[in-house]
Each structure stands twice: as C-alpha cells, then as structure tokens.
Amino acid sequence: MAEQQPDPITVEIILNALQSVTDESFLALMKSAYSTNIKERHDHSTAIVDKQGRLVMQAAHSIPVHVASVLGQMEALLAKYPLSDIAPGDVFVANDPHEGGGTHLPDVAFASPVFVAGELLCFVCNLAHHADIGGANPGSMSGGMTEIYQEGLRIPVVKLFRGGELQSDLFEMMLLNVRVREERRGDYNAQLAALRYGERRMLALAEKYGADMIDAVFAQIITRTKQRMRETLRLIPDGQYSFRDVMDDDGCDAINVPIAVTITMDDGLAYFDFTGTSAQTPGNINIPLHGTKAAVCYAMKAMLDPDVPNNQGVLDAFEVVAPSGSLLNCVSPAAVASRAHTSQRIIDVVIGAMAEALPERVIGAANGANTMAVFSGHDPRTGSEYVYLETLGGGMGARNDRDGKDGVQVHITNTSNLPIEAIEMEFPLRVESYGFVPDSGGAGRYRGGMGLRRVVSPVDHDCLFNGVGERFRNQPWGIFGGADGQSGKFEIQTADGALQQLQPKTGNLVLTSDQSVVVETPGAGGYGPALERSAEAIAADTKSGKFSDQYLRTHYRAK
C-alpha cells in the first residue's frame, strides 16, 4: 500500500467511523448472545487491530482489562502465523494465558483478518467472558485451584475457520469440555456474528476512503495518542513515587500477598517497576505481564486524561516491568482465574503512589474486588444444567470534590448489574434481598461509596456455590485522612436466620434449598478528614438512611 499523509479533518472523520464500527459490533455481540453474563452484564469487548498487531480502536463500553487479552492474542497470532498463512475467511480463537496471549481462560478471544484487493488491512477482534470454560469447578473461577490445568479448557491460537470453512471437529471439542454446552455455542456464534459485522463495516469504509488512507489513519491515530499521553505525563513532577498494598490471600496458604511499585517520572517518560512484589502464588490470583500493563495504563489514563482514545498509543507511553515468575508476571503453569482481583489492586497501588504528585486526581481505595458469586446445578423445572455467574460491584473511592459512588463496578470491570428479574427468570434462584450495606462507605470530608448486599437461595433444589472475594480481610484504605471502607464477606444463612461466615475464596459449597448465600461487597475509602465534612452533607447522610446513628456519631458529631 502506498504511503499517504491524511489531513487532520480526514483523520477525525475516520477515527469516529472506526469508533462506530467497534461500538456497533459490541451491540451486535450483546444482542445475539445467549448468556446473561454477555447479553445483560455486557462482559465482552470489541476492537480493531492493525496488521502489525497494534490496537487502533476499542468499543466505548469495552472492558479495560480485555485490552490485554486482545493484544496478547494478536502477539501470539502474528508470532505463530506468517502473513502468507493468513487468508480471507480465517477466524482465529485463543484463551490461554501462557500459550495464547490471554489473561484467564473464561475470556475467549476471536480475531478475523480484513482483506482489501488481496492485501491485509487489519483484524476485527472481540472477546467474551464465558460463564463456564470447564475445569474443576462450575464457573471456572473459584478459589483453591493451583495450576492452569484445573481452570478449564486451554486454547492456544488456532484457526476455528480456514478460508471461511468451520473446523467442526475443533468446535465440537471446544463445546465438549464446558458446562451448559448450548449456551456456549450460542455465545460463540454471537462472537462470530460480531466479527462478520465488523468486517463488512471495515470493507465499506475502505471502499469509501481507500485502503491506503485507512491504513495511514491507523498510524496517525496511534502516533497522536502517544504524543498526547506523553504531554499529559509532563504534568507529573519528575521524581520517584512508591506505594505498597496487599492481596487478602490466594485461596490456598498465602495471606497478605504484597504488591509494590516504584514509579519514576522523567520529563514525560513513565517507568513502573514492580520489584518487591510477591512471587507468583500457588492460588489463582496470578496475572500475566500484559494484564499488569493494561491495569497500569487504565489507572494513568483515568487520572490524567480519561478522554484520550484507548489504543496502542496509550500502551506505548509507559514502560512496565515486573520480575518473571512474580505475581504480576507469572509463568506456566500458574493459575490465573482470579486475575481481575489482582488487576484492581495494581490500580489501587498506582493511585496510592500518585497521591503525592496528583492529590486532586486520586481517589480513596475502591472496593478493590470483583466479588464473584457462581451458583450452579440442575433446574428442577427442566432438568437442564445451569451456571449463574456474576461479579458484583461495591463502593467507589471518594474524590477531592465529591463522595464516591455507591454500589458500582469500578476500574477495570465496566460491567452492568444483572437485574433481579433476569436472575429469577433465567435460573431456579430467588433473590431475597438486594441493597446497600449500611455504614460501609469510609467517612471523610467526602465519604467513600457503599458496598452491596445480595441474598440468594436455590428454589426447590440443592446447588453449588463458588465465591471469590477480595478486600474481605483488608479494608479499602482512605486517603489524606479519610477513613477506611468496610470489608466484604460471604455468609450462609439458614432457615432460622443463623449466619455462618465463609472463607473469602470458597469452592464447591453445597447449598440446600432451605439455605441462602449472603454476599456483602466492600465499601470504599473516604477522602480528607471526617471533621471537615460539611453540615449539609452530614444532614443528607442522616436523611438517606444509609448510615446508623452510631456511625454518624462516631465520625461526624464529635465536631
């Protein structure tokens, strides 16, 4: 393709067109999916990647941590397949973190090349979190698993379609190794439909503007983004900034697992060194290095320039290192299913390190978790197998000028709440109550957000419960004198109302029809001293009913 230099107006027009392609592909996947985790919670992402494997565009509602899996897959794909072995109609699939560029097995990534006049222009990509990918426990994400082999079906980068022809034996093998097979088939077909939609839209753009122009705009988008990010980084005073935090546990024997960072700023260059972080753990909280990079980039983008396009230019603006074999740069056969919890803690650590340099842009520690609850069994109405998976939100950290939001997903998750109506329609489960956890937001000049409480029981059958929580042992910290938020917990409630607390990472617990699971997610840390909270804000807290008299008296009425 001949080199072209597009003018700024053309770049902007095509950039917005590319955004539309990814956003519309995102909706196509969501509208076609079978599982509640995708069609209701939107736990999926879509992207465009250039022929060099660089991220050009991601859908606005995509999941930040999915950037790592998309780019990891592309890196593995281009390393394995020369361009001469990539043809129109090919569809590549992968999920393995050690061989396929993924970050954990439930995130299955698809990629399809787009050819114009016989030449490769780009790849359209998507990724969806499947409610089950096989392995030892339903939902494929419970604590206690100690190696990748226990976590489910591992897929290296392979061709699911060759020249437009489905490799049916491979597809049947993918379906054989998972629970709720027809739901998985439907979600895979939704991913394929989104790829085809994206390809059609890219071909239409190439016909209108020319493939050479589109290719040149890809480069311009990445270059402009990197320059913009570097200029923004110059707002941070040169120097070194450090912070340390811990993961609660790894679901096995490791407790208070440290994550440490030293950030060196030098005239717009940012170097993140995670030396001092724990070695990789037996339990499944490990994360590959490209997942660590995605978490760092999200945190810095959120603090410095939330509106900058999310593409390779952002990733290229930072240098991230972590020792090989460590928690944040794990090696095979490390277990990784709960890597999202670790991503959240990486973000907390980066924010904590930046507090001195960016006091008006940081927040108190958020709920710091992807509090995961999985209920599975056989529906007594039909006899069919079901897996209900959800990650619940919690408190968002308080900011320099306002309270943290209550009961929301934070940072790298970006998924939606699953409505009670959807749960009770799709699954033989009853949601007995759903609301905020009283007093769970950390007090401060601005208070932290509140955690969520959901009580769920099986209807006319026994089921299995798997839960994974973080910030259950260690509270989300407050900042600049703000109080810590409340920790989360799992409990079993019997018919007489008695409560028994469970471990933060609970696997394959039998739940009878006269029992309920109580899930309480963490709150978040406050910002600034509580005695500086305004009288108007305290009056609003009192009126809201979210806080007890004891809480208000302890934190605010002393003044």
pLDDT, tens digit, 9 for 90 and up, residues 171-204:
999 999 999 999 999 999 999 999 999 999 999 9
- Per-residue pLDDT, 58: 94
Least trusted range by pLDDT, from 2-11, 160-169, 449-458, 538-547: 2-11
- Per-residue pLDDT, 309: 87
Mean pLDDT of the 244-267 span:
96
- In tens, the pLDDT along 118-165 reads 999 999 999 999 999 999 999 998 888 999 999 999 999 999 999 999
Among residues 114, 255, 291, the alpha carbon closest in space to that of 197 is found at: 114
Mean pLDDT rounded to a whole number for the chain: 95
Measured distance CA(451)–CA(476) in Å, rounded: 11
Least trusted range by pLDDT, from 67-71, 300-304, 381-385, 487-491: 67-71
Which residues sit opposite 511 in a β-bridge?
A: 463
- In tens, the pLDDT along 330-352 reads 999 999 999 999 999 999 999 99
User: Measuring CA to CA, how many Å separate 207 from each of 55, 129, 197, 201, 233?
Assistant: 22, 33, 16, 10, 38
Q: Measure the CA dihedral 150/386/26/203, to 10°.
A: 80
* Strand order across the beta sheet in which 385-392 lies: 385-392, 371-378, 463-468, 505-511
For residue 282, cis peptide bond before it (omega within 30 degrees of 0): no
- Per-residue pLDDT, 344: 95
Please state the domain extents for the chain: 8-227, 363-559
Q: Are 462 and 470 in contact (CB under 8 A)?
A: no
Mean pLDDT of the 62-86 span:
91
